[in-house]
Amino acid sequence: MFGLPLAFAAPAVLAALVGLAALYFLLRVTPPRPRQALFPPLRLLIGLDPKDTEPARTPWPILALRLAIGALIILAMAGPLWNSLAGLAGSGPLLVLIDDGWAAAPAFEKRIDYARQRMEGAARAGRAVAVKPLSQGAEAIAPLDMAEIEGRLRSLAPVPYAPARETALPAIQQFLAKEPKAEILWIADGVELGGASGFAARLQALTRSVEVVTDGAGARAIAGIDNEAGALAVRLSRSDRLAPAKGTVRALDAQGREVGRAPFDFGETLLTEARFDLPVEVRNDISRVVIDGERSAGATWLVDERSRRRRVAIASGASADVAQPLLAPNYYLKRALEPFADVSEWRDSSSDPIVSLLAEKPSVLALADMSVAPGPERDAILQFLDQGGVLLRFAGTRLAAGDDDLTPSELRRGGRLLGGALSWETPKHIAPFEAGSPFFGLAAPDEVTVSRQVLAEPDAALANKVWARLGDGTPLVTAGPRGKGLIVLFHVTADTTWSNLPLSGLFVDMLRRIVAKAGAPAAAADRKPGERAASLAPWRTLSGFGVLGPPPAQAEPIGDDFTGIGDALHPPGFYGAQESLSAVNALGQGQALARADYGALTVREGALAIAPPIDLRRWLLPAALIGLMIDALISAWLAGAAVFRRRGAVAALAFAAAVCAVSAPPSSWAAGPAGPHDMDAALSARLAYVVTGDPAVDETSKEGLIGLTRVLASRTSAELAEPIAVNPARDELAFYPLIYWPIVAGQSQPQAEARTRIAAYMKNGGTVVFDTRDALISHPGGAPTEEARWLRALLAGVDVPELEPVPRDHVLTKTFYLLDRIVGRTAIGQTWIEALPPADPNDKGRPARAGDGVSPIIIASDDLAAAWASDAGGASLYPLIPGGARQRELALRSGINLVMYTLTGNYKADQVHAKDIIERLTR
C-alpha cells in the first residue's frame, strides 16, 4: 500500500478516517472542562465585566493529540501488517508451486512461511490462490480459501526423494485452462535434480507470468561412500557455489551414536570428499553418514552390509617360498581384494595357516587352490562356516587332486580331470550372468577366456548353485550354503594359469559382490534361478528431513538386486530383515548435484529470507491508549484539581506502566510468583519447580508436583508441604531437597546469578531434575533437540559431574520401589545421572550401588510432571504415551523413587549390609 510494505486486513475500515474531519470540528467547539476553583469572595467577581467573551477553544496540542488517537485507533482496526511481501502486488489467481524434494528440506519451514505469506497476501487482496507441491504430480489443483491455506501448507512435508517435476505439468495445464490469468510462483530448491530445467522450459511455454523464488543456497548432499583401505571416504556434492563450503560429516552407528566426525571443505568446487580415519571394525559399525546441520534425506547416506569393509583372509596351497611371488595366486587375490576389503595373508610359516587366519575373525576366507584335509583345519573351517563365514575357493591342481567336501557340489575328481582330456578348440568366454546370480548386472567382457577348469558332477541341484557359466554352459562359479555360511567355488585358478579372468576388472567386481555377501544371510544364496528376486520390505525409511522412521504406507518392497536410488515407491531407507539390511539412498553413488537452470524465468534468489509480517496493531493500540492517558492527564491538569492532579498523575502513570508491561512482548525471564517465600519454604520440606515463563509448562509442573506430593503422602512417610514455584534468579534454593526444572527451549537463558545459584545449590547437596521433555522428538545420536541445546547452554557455566544413563543397579531404582527405569509421560527417554564409581569387583552380589552422595543433577526427557499430574480424584490430567494405568503407576513410582533418593541418599544401598550389622549387634 502506497509503495510501502504495508497491508491491511480490513482496508474498508480506513474509510472511517474521513470521520476525523468531523471529529476535528466537534473537538474544536467542545473545549475541555474549565478548572474548577472554590472561591469564597465570588460575590466580588460577579458583575465584573470580563472583557473577552470569546468562548474557549480546545487548545491545538490537545486537538492534535485527540485526532492522532482517533487515527491510530482507526488504523489499528484496519489490521495493519508490516509485511515485506505486501509490496509484491499482482492480479489474477495465484498458483504456488513448491519444490518438496529432499533438496528443499533444509529450509522447508522458510519456504512454507514464504508461501503462506504470499498466499495470504493474495487471498486478502481477493485473489484466488492454490498450492501445488511438485511431488504430488497427478493431483488436480483446487483453489483454497483463506481459512484453508494454513492447514494445507502445514500438511506439506518434504519427500525423501527428488520428485519428477514434469508429472505435475498436466495438472498445471488444467488449472491454467480454467484460470488463464493465473500467476505462477514457484518456490524452487535451486537443484537440477528432478528435471528442474526441463520443467522450467515447459512452464515458460505454458504461461508468461512465472516467478521463481529460491533460497539461493542450493543443496548439499552425500553422493556415496567408499570404504577404502585406510579410511571411509565420503563423497559430497553441492549444487551451488553459494552453499556453505565447510562443514562436518558425522558417522553414526545403528543406534544413532556418533562413531566419528570428519570435516570437509568444498573450497571453490562442487565436489569434495571427507575421510573417516577409523579402524575397520569401527567403520563397519557405521550405519549412517550425515552432514552435520543439514537436515535432508540427501544429506544422509545409509550404509548397509554391502559397503562394509570385510576382512578377507587368504591362504594358498602353494608353499610359502614361491619362486615367483608376483605370479602367485595370493598376489592376484590380494590385489583384487584390497580396494574394498582388508586382506590378511598367512605369513607365519610356523603355525597352521588356516587356523591362525581364522583366529583373526575374517568375514571371508579365500583358499587359492588348496585342499582341506580332515583335521583341525577342516574343523576350524566348518566352525567358521557355521558362524556365517564365506569360504571362497579357487580351483587348481591341488583341489582337483584332493578330496574334500568343502565345495558347493561334487567335483569330478581323480583321473577324469579336465585339462588334457577335454580339449577345446578355442578357449571359452563367459556367458552373460543370469538374473538370479549375484553377478547379475556385471558385464561379461569378451576378452576374458577360460582355458581350463574343474568340472562339477552333474546333479539335479547343480543348476541352483551356479552363479556364472561359460559360454558352453559349464559352471564357472558355483556356490552353496553350508551351515550359516556360504561356500563359493571358482572353477578356475586365482592366477592366470587356467584363465585370464584374474587379470580383468570383472574379477574385482565379482570378488566385491562375493565379499559383500559375507555376513549376509545365506538364505539369499540358495535361491532358485529364474525365481523373481526376493523382495525386501521396507524396514525404516528416511523422511525428507533425513530422519529414519517407520516407512510410509505407499512404500513398496525392493528386490534384493535393487540398485537404484530412492523414489516415491521406494523411499530411501533400510529394507529387508533387520539383521541384513539393504540401504536405498536418495542419491546414486557418485551422482553429482547440479544447479538448476531456470531459463528465461524471473528468478529471485535468496528472497525466501523474509521477516515475518509484523502486526502493527500491537503497537498502534498501546500508542492510542498511551495517547488517551496523556489526554486524560492534560485534561485533568487543565481542569486543575490540585490534589487530584498529583494522585491522579501517579495513578495514571502507574496504569500506563502496567499497560506497557502487559502489552510489551513477554520479556526474557517472566516474573515468577511475587515475593520471597523463604520463610514459608524453610518451615517445611517441599518440592519445588522452576518457573519457566511458559504458563502451560508451569501449570503442568505445579500440577505434577502436587500430584506427586499427594501420592508420596499416601504411600510413604514423606509428607511434604505444597510444592512451590521458584525462580533461581531471585529465590533462595537451599530449602528444597529437589527442584524440578522443565526445559522450554523457547525461553531465554536465565541470568548469570541464576546460574551461580544453581551451581551453589548443586554443590551444597541439592538435586536438580532437568526434564527436557523431548523423548519423542529426539533420536539417539541425532542432532540435539532445541531443549537439549538449551540445557547445554544453561549448564555451560555449571560444574556438572560426569553423567551416565541410570544403570539398572543404581540406588535410584531401588529407593522405594524396584524399578527398571525412570518413566514419565513417555517411556522411551534416557535418564542421565551422575556416573557412579566403577563397581567394586569384591562386591559382586550387591544389588544396588550408590555413590558417596546424592547426584546433584538428574536429566530426564520423559516429561515427568505431566505423568504425575492428576486431579483430586487421582485421574491423570495428561494422556500418557503409549498409555495405560501401568505406565502411570510406573511414572508415579519413578517420582517416588526420585524423591526418596534425594531424601535418603545412598541409605538403601547401604541397607544391603543390614543383615551383617544386625548379626554383629546380636553377637
- 256: buried, middle or exposed (CB in 10 Å: 19+, 13-18, 0-12)? middle
Beta-carbon contacts of 735 under 8 Å, excluding residues fewer than 6 positions away, are 678, 681, 682, 685, 686, 688
Q: How far is the CB of 23 from other proteins (least distance, A)?
A: 21
640 binds other proteins (CB under 8 A): yes
Nearer to other proteins, 33 or 618 (CB): 33
Cα-based angle 522, 525, 529 (whole degrees, multiple of 5): 155
- CB nearer to other proteins: give 424 or 644: 644
Give exposure, 287-319, as e/b (b: 16+ Cβ within 10 Å): bbbbbeebbbbbbbbbbbbbbbbbbbbbbbbbe
Q: For residue 148, what is the enclosing H or E element?
A: helix 146-154
**Which CB atom, from 52 or from 447, has the smaller least distance to other proteins?**
52
- For residue 184, the cross-strand partners are 95, 210
Looking at beta carbons only, is 55 or 837 nearer to other proteins?
Answer: 55
Stretch that binds other proteins, among 163-171, 315-323, 634-642, 680-688 (CB under 8 A): 634-642
Report the residue number, 47 or 415, with the smaller CB distance to other proteins. Answer: 47
d(CA 711, CA 705): 10
Three cell numbers written together for 376: 583341525
Mask of contacts with other proteins, 590-629, x by CB under 8 A? ----------------------------------------
Instruction: Tell me which residues in 403-442 interact with other proteins (CB under 8 A).
Output: none
Instruction: Name the minimum Å distance from CB 55 to other proteins.
Output: 7
Q: Measured from the CB of residue 90, what is the shortest distance to other proteins in angstroms? A: 56
137 residue type, one letter: G
Closer of 59 and 874 to other proteins (Cβ): 59
638 part of the interface to other proteins, by CB under 8 A = yes
**Least Å from the CB of residue 35 to other proteins:** 5
Cα gap 803→349, rounded to integer Å = 50
Q: How far is the CB of 67 from other proteins (least distance, A)?
A: 21
x/- contact string, 727-756, with other proteins (CB under 8 A)? ------------------------------
Please tell me the distance from the alpha carbon of residue 386 to that of residue 391, in angstroms, as a whole number.
11
Chain Cα centroid distance, residue 112: 19
Instruction: Answer yes or no: are the C-beta atoms of 412 and 458 closer than 8 Å.
Output: no
Nearest distance from C-beta of residue 651 to other proteins, angstroms: 15
Nearer to other proteins, 157 or 641 (CB): 641
Of 65 and 721, which has the nearer Cβ to other proteins?
65
Taking the complex as a whole, the smallest distance from the CB of residue 786 to other proteins amounts, in Å, to 58
Cα distances (angstroms) measured from residue 569 to each of 133, 181, 538, 550, 901? 17, 35, 10, 14, 52
If one asks whether residue 559 binds other proteins (CB under 8 A), the answer comes out as no
- Minimum distance, C-beta of residue 703 to other proteins, in the bound complex (Å): 49
Phi and psi angles of residue 68, each rounded to the nearest 5 degrees, phi first? -65, -40
Q: Least distance from C-beta 648 to other proteins, angstroms?
A: 12
What is the spatial distance between Cα 864 and Cα 766, in angstroms, rounded to a whole number? 19
Cβ-based nearer residue to other proteins, 50 or 279 = 50
Angle at the Cα of 86 from the Cα atoms of 83 and 92, rounded to 5 degrees: 155
Q: Which stretch binds other proteins (CB under 8 A): 349-357, 614-622, 640-648, 686-694?
A: 640-648
Q: Which of 38, 872 has the CB closer to other proteins?
A: 38
Strand bridging mode 271-276 / 232-238:
antiparallel
CB of 643 to other proteins, least distance (A): 5
Residue 88 or 639 with smaller CB distance to other proteins: 639
Write the DSSP symbol of residue 592: -
Q: Contact with other proteins (CB under 8 A): which of 460, 643, 696, 875?
A: 643
What character string, x for contact with other proteins (CB under 8 A) and - otherwise, covers 852-891?
----------------------------------------
- Cβ distance to other proteins smaller for residue 31 or 807: 31
Q: Least distance to other proteins from the beta carbon of 46, Å?
A: 6
Strands 538-542 vs 573-575: parallel, antiparallel or unpaired? antiparallel
Angstrom distance (rounded) from CA 888 to CA 464: 56
Q: Which is nearer to other proteins, 49 or 145 (CB)?
A: 49
Of 641 and 745, the one with the shorter C-beta distance to other proteins is 641
Query: Which one, 12 or 46, has the nearer CB to other proteins?
Result: 46
- 3-class secondary structure per residue, 481-536: EECCEEEEEECCCCCCCCECHHHCHHHHHHHHHHHHHCCCCHHHHHCCCCCCCCEE
- CA distances 577 to 253, 515, 528, 534, 547, Å, are 17, 19, 20, 12, 19
Which grid cell is 474? 559349464
- Cell numbers found for residue 777: 522428538
Other C-beta atoms closer than 10 Å to the C-beta of 462 total 16
Options 641, 725, 783, 803; binder of other proteins; rule CB under 8 A: 641
Of the candidates 642, 674, 696, 875, which one interacts with other proteins according to CB under 8 A?
642
Segment interacting with other proteins, rule: CB under 8 A, options 90-98, 309-317, 633-641, 749-757: 633-641
Q: Would you count residue 717 as binding other proteins (CB under 8 A)?
A: no
Q: Is 388 left (phi over 0), alpha (psi -120 to 50) or beta?
A: left
394, 400 in Cβ contact below 8 A?
Answer: no
Q: How far apart are CA 255 and CA 285, in angstroms?
A: 10
Q: Could you tell me the smallest distance in angstroms from the CB atom of residue 59 to other proteins?
A: 10
Nearest distance from C-beta of residue 54 to other proteins, angstroms: 7
Paired sense of beta strands 390-394 and 485-490, if any: parallel
Least spacing, CB of residue 57 vs other proteins, in Å: 9
Nearest residue (CB) to other proteins, 33 versus 484: 33
Positions 44 through 73 that interact with other proteins (CB under 8 A)? 44-46, 48-52, 54-56
| 466-469 vs 475-482, strand pairing mode | antiparallel
41 versus 279: smaller Cβ distance to other proteins: 41
Q: How far is the CB of 25 from other proteins (least distance, A)?
A: 20
The amino acid sitting at 858 is I
| Given 257, 387, 644, 676, the residue binding other proteins (CB under 8 A) | 644
Q: Which residues ranging from 16 to 45 are in contact with other proteins (CB under 8 A)?
A: 31-45
Place of cell 501449570: 699
- Judging by DSSP bridges, how do beta strands 129-133 and 94-98 pair with one another? parallel
At closest approach, how far in Å is the CB of 652 from other proteins? 18
Query: Nearer Cβ to other proteins, position 206 or 638?
Result: 638
Map the footprint of other proteins across residues 461-480, applying CB under 8 A: none
Greatest alpha-carbon span in the chain: 154
Rounded to the nearest 5°, which phi and psi values hold at 388?
100, 15
Residues 367-406 as x/- pattern, contact with other proteins by CB under 8 A = ----------------------------------------
Q: Where are the beta strands (DSSP E) in 190-257?
A: 210-214, 220-227, 232-238, 246-253
Q: How many residues interact with other proteins (rule CB under 8 A)?
A: 30
Q: Quick one: which segment of 481-489, 637-645, 673-681, 914-922 binds other proteins (CB under 8 A)?
A: 637-645
- Nearest alpha-carbon partner for 329 in 453, 490, 501, 502: 502
- How far apart are CB 33 and other proteins at their closest, in Å? 8
Distance of CA 496 to the CA centre of its chain: 51
Smallest distance from the beta carbon of 640 to other proteins, in angstroms? 7
Q: Which residues sit at the interface with other proteins, rule CB under 8 A?
A: 31-46, 48-52, 54-56, 638, 640-644
